[in-house]
Amino acid sequence: MVSPKVVIDPTMAYTLSFYVYMGYSSSAAVMPTLVVSQSINDDPYEELMTIDVTEGNGEWTLFEIPLTGTELANHAKVCFRGNMSMMSERIWLDNISITAIDKPSSVDELATKQQITAVKGGISIEGFEGQQVRVFTVDGRQVDAFVADGNRNLSMSPGIYIVTVGKQAYKVSVR
């Protein structure tokens, strides 16, 4: 699975976050793994991490991986590749997001976190102060619009939504 291109601001740092269902059991000789890679400015994909999905206790596990080389980038893509030996095997992913974080101007300064994530019954929007936020259904109907003034939680019905902030778009699945 390959993401669409995400516009990159060279003044920001970026983190890829996602959940993987861990504890998958397999009788195959080769254990299933998930390889996570990135491509910056359409360069060849570079591996960020390999995850053995058989480790764990049958629960969802959050992974957060910093994207590298974004300081000279215009856009990035991520790729999730499952290595499986049997066609019946599956690797489950959820809540995939790329989050922009301000780069600190000094070593002691903390970065401001900006992220849009699904929470139970809604969408959490953190950061993005002063920026126009719009929320759409997947069929293109706008359901909310506002100028961000801090952190905000939106109550939403279960479904898939597209949240735009400026020129960036985030896909969110609300349960």
pLDDT digits (tens, 9 = 90+) for 131-174: 889 999 888 889 999 988 888 999 999 988 988 887 788 888 88
Q: Which CATH number applies to 1-102?
A: 2.60.120.200
**Domain regions of the chain by residue span:** 1-102, 113-175
Model confidence, pTM:
0.54
Q: For residue 106, is pLDDT > 60?
A: no
CATH homologous superfamily of domain 113-175?
Immunoglobulins (2.60.40.10)
Give the CB-side neighbour count of residue 35, counting CA atoms within 13 A: 10
Q: According to the model, what pLDDT value does residue 11 have? A: 80
Q: Which two tokens mark 91? A: 């690797």
